[in-house]
Amino acid sequence: MPLTKLETALTNVYPQDLEKLAADLLAERGYDVDPTGTKGTDGGVDALLCDGDRNGILHVARTRSDRIRGKVTDDALKAADHDRKYDFFVFVTTADPSGSLRRRLEVELQEEYGWKVTIWAREQLRNALMANHQHLAREHLNVEPNVEDKEYQDDVLALRNKRLDSVPHKVRY
């Protein structure tokens, strides 16, 4: 099934825009968010988070689903090397790993570092943006999340077919 406008926007979002979206989404969900900025090196910290008296860290990555394990593991290792102590680790990604892989990674990292670990993948982002944070989809992704995507999907399929038709075919006899 073709991706919706929202899913396509999440898949293609620029990294700095994804960081801003993640920070705003977490702020609206009750976290105190201290972004480190979206330009230049950030020392392995996309944002510092507070939830009451608990301290956390946010890492954000646009990555492919087949690279999610390596990326989240690398980012957790960076966080563990900081001089700060964290109670929780939030990883936001545009990857779309299976639910079982996501949960397994959360458990593995929690066991290794002692943090509460939450991984927000594309489907969790899509659900949050569709349900309670539609204005963030409009603001950060320039997408109206509840608009019927049928016409858009037809346009994407037509473009795909046009491109496929333009590829020269070798005829073998």
pTM above 0.85? Answer: no
pLDDT for the residue numbered 145? 78
> Which domains does the chain carry?
5-162 (3.40.1350.10)
pLDDT for the residue numbered 144? 87
| Per-residue pLDDT reduced to its tens digit, 115-126 | 999 999 999 999
Cross-strand partners of 35: 47
CA distance 78 to 38: 18
108: left (phi over 0), alpha (psi -120 to 50) or beta: alpha
